[in-house]
Amino acid sequence: MVSVMTDARQRVIFDLKRQSVRELNQFLHGDLGGIQEVLVENPDGAHSLAVGLNAPVRVDIGGHAGYYAAGMNQSATVVVHGNAGPGVAENMMSGRVEVSGFASGGAGASAHGGLLIIRGDAGLRCGISLKGADIVVGGEVGSFSAFMAQAGRIVICGDAGDGLGDSLYEAVIYVRGTVRSLGADARVEPMSERDHNAVRELLFAAGLSHASSEFKRIASARSLYHWNADARQSY
């Protein structure tokens, strides 16, 4: 059993200067008995903070997180008050993960559900192999983002790097800034009313106020869905 401290707001406090990440995660995986908020102090870039959660608890990480923060999240809200290392919210199933600073590579990789909000920039391969989650990036995304993304939506308020949406399946990307280059089979398509609504809904959820008309839609041309023997490895 982990001994816990609470503050005036009945938040449970973990201080990672004194307690281990394993203690934190075991506590979060146990019976929370009505505890609704957990504050993690001095994270100092530790790996695997608040991973594998499966309860509607809110976890505030008071600083920078290392690799895989909030990975495999289900139902919980995890807020990183700082930057996140590689693989934040990877394979998230549901719930909400927010990063107030930048996120390193592979943010939201393979996430099936839930909402990932990155207020700063996201590194390379953001939303790679996305399987149904929504991602909102306040800044720019690095190269090879949304590679082979299968389902879900990505809203990028800044610019995108090279190879955006390479080999996309049915995920849809909305970009406000410029795209350095599109990946194979990704194309710009007209925004429908449904697309405008999707962008509005996701920006509202993230507390951002851009107009949906500033965004363009990028989706799969679906030309890679079937083998084309005449393509001669041209893509």
Partner 1 sequence: MCGIVGLLLKDASLRPRLGELMVPMLIGMTERGPDSSGMAVFAEAVAGDRRKLSLYCAQSGFDWRALQAAWVGRLGEAQFDINANHCIVTTSADLGRARKFIAAEYHDVHVLSAGRSIDLYKDVGLPAEVAERYGFTRLSGTHLVGHTRMATESAVTTENAHPYTAGEDWCLVHNGSLANPGSLRRKLEKLGERFESDCDTEGACRYLHWRLSSGESLEQAIEHAFSDFDGFFTFLMGTRDKLALVRDPFACKPAVVAETDEYVAIASEFRSLAHLPGVKHATVFEPKPAQVYAWSV
Binding site for partner 1 (CB under 8 A): 44-47, 63-64, 66-67, 83, 85-86, 101-102, 104-105, 123-124, 142-144
Q: How far is the CB of 44 from partner 1 (least distance, A)?
A: 4
**Cα–Cα distance measured from residue 50 to residue 76, given in angstroms and rounded to the nearest whole number:** 9
Nearer to partner 1, 64 or 176 (CB): 64
Q: How far is the CB of 158 from partner 1 (least distance, A)?
A: 13
Whole-number Cα distances in Å, 153 to 112, 125, 128, 170: 11, 15, 12, 9
Q: How far is the CB of 166 from partner 1 (least distance, A)?
A: 13
Nearer to partner 1, 40 or 198 (CB): 40
Q: How far is the CB of 101 from partner 1 (least distance, A)?
A: 8
Q: How far is the CB of 48 from partner 1 (least distance, A)?
A: 12
Strand intervals (E) in the chain: 5-6, 12-15, 37-41, 58-62, 77-80, 96-99, 115-118, 131-137, 151-156, 172-175, 186-189, 216-220
Contact 129, 146 (CB under 8 A): no
**Cα–Cα distance measured from residue 149 to residue 137, given in angstroms and rounded to the nearest whole number:** 16
Nearer to partner 1, 108 or 123 (CB): 123
Nearer to partner 1, 49 or 203 (CB): 49
Nearer to partner 1, 164 or 202 (CB): 164
Sequence-separated (6 or more) residues with CB below 8 Å from residue 176: 156, 157, 158, 210, 214, 215
How many residues make up the chain in this entry?
235
